[in-house]
Amino acid sequence: MSNKYLSQVLFNEDLKNKFISDYDLDSEKNTKVLYKYVFQRSYEEEMLLGKDIYDFNKSELRDLIFSYKNGSESAVATNVSVLRKYLDFCVSKGYIRVNLLQDLSGRDYEKFIDKTAQYNKHITREQFEEMINQCLNYQDMFPLAMAYYGFVGEKNSEITNLKVKHVKMIESKIFIEDRNERNRAAKTIIQIMGNLNPHLRDEGDFKHKLWDHLALIANFDLDIDSPYPIPEPTKFREKPKQVPYQQGNIRYLHYGRIIELLIDTASEMPDGDEKEYLTTLIVNQMKKSYITWNRSQVADEVIIGDMKLLSGGKLKITDGVRILEVRELLPQTKKKQQGKPHGKQQNKPYNKKKGYSRH
């Protein structure tokens, strides 16, 4: 039945209004509006059969649920929940002995989805995964995942049962009063986070990381039974330790401290091939650093003089030390070839002008 043609009156109106006002004293105003809306949609079936919902048999109750044109399992769950509560109310008042919907489980809800309904065109899983892949972090992924997967509770979804008092608008928070339900919701979130990152499942501490990430996303404001110790917030707020850089002046900044340390090490070595080899490396690195930070050319005597000064005269250039040329120290840039097209050149046709002959 289209919402446009909903009946403004209820079948057996007094009884249904009594149920709406008395059955759930803690219900919010929006919940009572929902109850009335379901009964308005039931009016046509009740008038057709000439009896109240509590007198329907199982087959008639199933036809009634079908008539709601449910677009999703969540919609089925909402409608069935209202009907089940109404039948419990009628049992308590002595109108019937048994609630015929008490055995209807969530596994049956899919059967009541109207797959031809126009509003039942959902995003495909492929489209959803494409949207998820464009997200940069969990904060962006989570609202999309919640909209797609939903929270699945023991009876109805937590979102279906959510009341106004559960939402703190100023703090932008939603909380669930029952601790078992909170734990179940947290496990559902962890499962969704795992589905969003299946490539990380091979890591040994994958589950531990997800629970840590959940605590971080919630700003450590979750009162749940986590299977892992909740990380301390202070560890994420403390400043990183200062890197112990060695203090002291560097005599030649363009050579750097490493060169000075190498020179000190080589100066203490006994004469021989090893000291000569290290001296060769040092002097060529000094020359390379010099031309990199100063100019493209430098006399070898300048480098040798600096090395002697830094070593206190302990390092000397022997016959086995070879100082490289500048072109050997710096990488050569390749010039681009010009004027030679790739591939075979095609012979251009010879255009004859009118009245012109080569012979």
> 105 and 134, same structural domain?
no
- Residue 350 within any structural domain of the chain: no
Q: Are residues 104 and 7 in the same domain?
A: yes
On the CB side of 183, how many CA atoms lie within 13 Å of its CA?
Answer: 7
Counting the structural domains of the chain, the total is 3
pLDDT of residue 2: 45
Nearest to 224 by CA among 178, 292, 168: 178
Residue 113: strand pairing partners? 70
Digits of tens for pLDDT over the chain (359 positions)? 444 445 678 899 999 988 888 765 455 566 777 888 889 889 989 999 999 999 999 999 999 998 888 878 888 888 998 999 999 999 999 999 999 998 888 888 888 888 765 444 556 667 667 777 777 666 666 666 666 655 444 444 445 555 555 555 444 455 677 788 778 878 888 888 887 777 777 777 888 888 888 888 888 878 888 898 888 888 777 777 887 766 667 788 888 888 888 999 999 999 888 988 898 899 889 888 888 887 667 888 888 898 989 888 888 887 777 888 877 777 666 666 665 555 555 555 555 555 544 44
Print the domain residue range for 294: 257-329
Q: What are phi and psi of 174, to 5 degrees?
A: -125, 130
262 shares a domain with 177:
no
Question: What is the chain's Cα-based Rg?
Answer: 41
Q: Residue 22: which CATH number?
A: 1.10.150
Q: What is the pLDDT of residue 94?
A: 92
| pLDDT at residue 90, as a whole number | 93
Residues 159 and 201 in one domain: yes
Same domain, 8 and 72: yes
Position 200 in a domain: yes
Tokens of 146: 């919640």
- Distance between CA atoms of residues 135 and 127, nearest Å: 13
Distance, CA of 311 to CA of 272 (rounded, Å): 17
Residue 358, in any domain of the structure:
no
User: Would you say residue 248 lies in a domain?
Assistant: no
Task: List CB contacts of 305: < 8 A, sequence separation 6 or more.
Answer: none
Q: Is position 221 within any domain?
A: yes
**What predicted TM-score, i.e. pTM, was given to this entire model?**
0.36
The pLDDT value recorded for residue 63 is 92
Look at residues 92, 120, 148 and tell me which one is the last residue of a structural domain: 120
Same-domain status, 75 and 179: no
Nearest to 26 by CA among 156, 178, 150, 165: 165
198 in a structural domain: yes
Tokens describing residue 139? 């904060």
